[in-house]
């Protein structure tokens, strides 16, 4: 891939959505997103990542952005996993703030304005799904994974599995390339010294298709990544805030 895009001061925020075999969800997700964002103040861009889908997801994405100049597609040649797809999308953003959203329609784009409001006061924000519309098995696995992660990382977040997240552009440097990056973004941001907030969001049943999660995705991959995150977080430098003082200002205070 060519050099990464630089920040564009005229773009207030970027919205990143990864898709993997979501052919039937692409159109309703993007239509709903468009209706929400076009009512919002501020300029935005949409970065859609096709994670090597084997169905008609890419064709649906192309059809949906034909008359949407603010949207573009990043097409991954092969399936690389949600963590990698998110990182590619994030690194191709040009906005000052970045919003993440899942491509299955379970996140409500109507919650994006709340995330943007909080980003005026915090560096990183993550949704908390109040009334989850998942089966019992998935909810139990999620609760267990969240409990273990909180114990080891002390990130203070109750639901890192929520796909709706937002952060200031400078937080990108806190992330590391791991398969389950979406689960450890708050921990990595906190370890780097950024401020974090959690807020309640709406959660809907999956529109169509099947979930891509299993025990390997929910437990084994996060367990391995947890070791790396803990090691990295304890050894990385925290963000340092400083100001520059010139000779003129020193003289003025005498």
Question: How do residues 117-133 score in pLDDT, each as one tens digit?
Answer: 999 999 999 999 888 76
Structure-token pair, residue 227: 């070791």
Give the per-residue SS3 of 195-252. CEEEEEECECCCCCCCCCCCHHHHHHHHHHHHHHHHHHHHHCCCCCCCCCCCHHHHHH
pLDDT band at residue 213 under the 50/70/90 scheme: low
Look up the pTM and report it: 0.83
Vertex 18 angle, CA 16 and 19, to 5°: 140
Please provide the average confidence, as pLDDT, over all residues in the chain: 85
**Third-level CATH fold of 13-234:** Spore Coat Polysaccharide Biosynthesis Protein SpsA; Chain A (3.90.550)
pLDDT band at residue 151 under the 50/70/90 scheme: confident
Give me the pLDDT at residue 211, please. Answer: 67
pLDDT band at residue 194 under the 50/70/90 scheme: very high
Structure-token pair, residue 14: 């970027």
């Amino acid at each position: 891939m060519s050099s990464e895009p630089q920040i564009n001061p005229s773009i207030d925020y970027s919205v990143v959505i990864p898709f993997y075999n979501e052919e039937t969800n692409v159109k309703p997700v993007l239509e709903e997103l468009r209706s929400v964002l076009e009512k919002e103040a501020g300029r935005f861009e949409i970065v859609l990542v096709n994670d090597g889908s084997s169905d008609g997801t890419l064709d649906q994405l192309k059809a949906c952005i034909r008359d949407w100049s603010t949207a573009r597609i990043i097409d991954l040649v092969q399936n690389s996993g949600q963590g990698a797809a998110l990182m590619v999308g994030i690194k191709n953003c040009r906005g000052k703030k970045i919003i993440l959203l899942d491509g299955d329609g379970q996140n409500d784009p109507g919650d994006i304005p709340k995330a943007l409001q909080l980003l005026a006061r915090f560096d990183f924000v993550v949704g908390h799904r109040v009334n989850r519309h998942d089966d019992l098995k998935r909810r139990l696995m999620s609760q267990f994974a969240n409990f273990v992660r909180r114990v080891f990382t002390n990130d203070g977040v109750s639901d890192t599995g929520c796909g709706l997240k937002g952060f200031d552009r400078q937080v990108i440097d806190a992330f590391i390339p791991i398969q389950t990056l979406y689960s450890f973004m708050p921990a990595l941001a906190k370890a780097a010294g950024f401020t974090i907030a959690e807020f309640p969001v709406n959660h809907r049943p999956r529109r169509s298709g099947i979930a891509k999660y299993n025990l390997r995705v929910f437990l084994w991959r996060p367990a391995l990544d947890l070791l790396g995150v803990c090691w990295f977080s304890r050894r990385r430098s925290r963000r340092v805030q400083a100001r520059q003082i010139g000779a003129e200002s020193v003289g003025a205070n005498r």
